[in-house]
Structure 1
């Protein structure tokens, strides 16, 4: 039996990188998959791949930084599949690279709007539906920078610390309602987001700082997310699980 048989699962930012890997892993583990992205071509391509492999999937074009889009996403999932059991709020951006005293106000607002506000909006509407279901499991995508600094990225660091705190609050509030909420903190993963923000020399340097001496793979994060979303982790809530190849161990 697969880990997510008879479940309806959702992932934001599912068109590429970690989000795509999560969507594919959800499908492989038996879930009906809904995914959202701001890139329609990428999102539809992932849905096509899932269907080609015998799964069932739905793409929703949406901006995760907008409250109304997050509300609409849940409504569309329920209209299509009748319920929502599992979610991973993954969409995020790195933002401007600058020290805090020189960080642009609009750049700060953009990062917080997606990385923190967007996660809150998603949880806000997912929780209402999961209560109607009688339970559910949410995984919020944080980062190792939910616990350590990312110099030159104050908005990213602040947003990811906020995601960890929000996750703990939800776990405390909804534990008796059969809804679990955990956060995952990836280290540096080989994804388009990393490629857009770092050159090859910097990526090699960062990889060397992890005790495993490499960047992570999106699929490695997806496997952890699916475990936390599944009944295999039924007594686990309010946790913050770092997967960074040993980057923060030293």
Structure 2
């Protein structure tokens, strides 16, 4: 049996990059996965490939910044799988390192909607089911910008600090009720979000390379499994050591 056998997982932001790797890793460990995002073609491709590998998956088209859209998508998951055990909040956007003067209000609002409001709405939607069961896992995604400035601009750094606070509050409010909430903080991972990062930037990383989505997914599997049941409210750095000198 896999480490996530008989678990039902909702993977938000699961149609590319780290989220795609997480969906595949969860399925490999025995979970049934709902791959959620806005890229229908990619989502269905991932689902088909998981099922070709004897996994169980469905695609749900969700814009997590819209509460009603998320509610409908979650209802589809419950209809297909019956319940939820794991929520992975992986959708996120970057601000191209814009400072507070350069950032217009529209960009700020959009980034906060995706990076902060989206995980809040998703957690609010699934928590009643998890609380009724007395057990559930929520994994939020931060970044190097959860801890330091400079890995993004004004709005991105603010959003990633905020998601750590949200993760801690989830643990404070619901940890005693069986809900395990933790945060993964990836560094430079080979995904579309970090395209264009030059080799000089990578030299600042003690590991001397970018990370792989599959490496982040391995941490997500651990946090989703019973092996990590005493890990609560933690922020796990996955950055090759980049933040140690900051």
Q: For the superposition of Structure 1 and Structure 2, which TM-score range results when normalised by the shorter chain?
A: over 0.9
Aligned Cα RMSD in Å? Answer: 1.2
- Determine the structure 2 residue equivalent to 1:210: 205
- Determine the structure 1 residue equivalent to 2:232: 237
1:59 correspondence with 2:54? no
1:14 correspondence with 2:5? no
> 1:83, 1:133 within 8 Å by CA — same for their partners in 2?
no
1:222 correspondence with 2:214? no
> 1:96, 1:107 within 8 Å by CA — same for their partners in 2?
no
> 1:99, 1:151 within 8 Å by CA — same for their partners in 2?
no
**Cα distance in 2 for residues equivalent to 1:203 and 1:39:** 28
- Determine the structure 2 residue equivalent to 1:30: 30
Following TM superposition, where does structure 1 have runs of at least 4 consecutive aligned residues deviating by more than 3 angstroms? Answer: none
**Cα distance in 2 for residues equivalent to 1:7 and 1:151:** 34
**Cα distance in 1 for residues equivalent to 2:152 and 2:42:** 30
Shift of 1:96: 4.3
Alignment map for 1:113-132 (pairs within 5 Å): 113-132=113-132
Shift of 1:74: 2.0
Q: Tell me the SS of whatever aligns to 1:249.
A: helix
Shift of 1:152: 5.7
Q: Deviations over 1:24-64 (max 9, x none)?
A: 00000000000111111011111011001000001001112
Shift of 1:75: 1.4
Q: Which residues of structure 2 form unaligned runs of 5+?
A: none
**Cα distance in 1 for residues equivalent to 2:198 and 2:26:** 29
- Determine the structure 1 residue equivalent to 2:139: 139
**Cα distance in 2 for residues equivalent to 1:221 and 1:203:** 21
Alignment map for 1:44-83 (pairs within 5 Å): 44-83=44-83
Shift of 1:159: 0.7
Change (3 A) 1:64 1:203: farther
1:246 correspondence with 2:216? no
Q: Which residues of structure 1 form unaligned runs of 5+?
A: none
What TM-score do you get using the length of structure 1 for normalisation?
0.95
1:183 correspondence with 2:178? no
Q: Tell me the SS of whatever aligns to 1:161.
A: helix
1:86 correspondence with 2:81? no
Shift of 1:76: 1.4
Change (3 A) 1:152 1:185: closer
1:108 correspondence with 2:103? no
- Determine the structure 2 residue equivalent to 1:4: 4
Question: Mean Cα displacement is larger for which, 94-103 or 49-58?
Answer: 94-103
> 2:145, 2:152 within 8 Å by CA — same for their partners in 1?
no
What TM-score do you get using the length of structure 2 for normalisation?
0.96
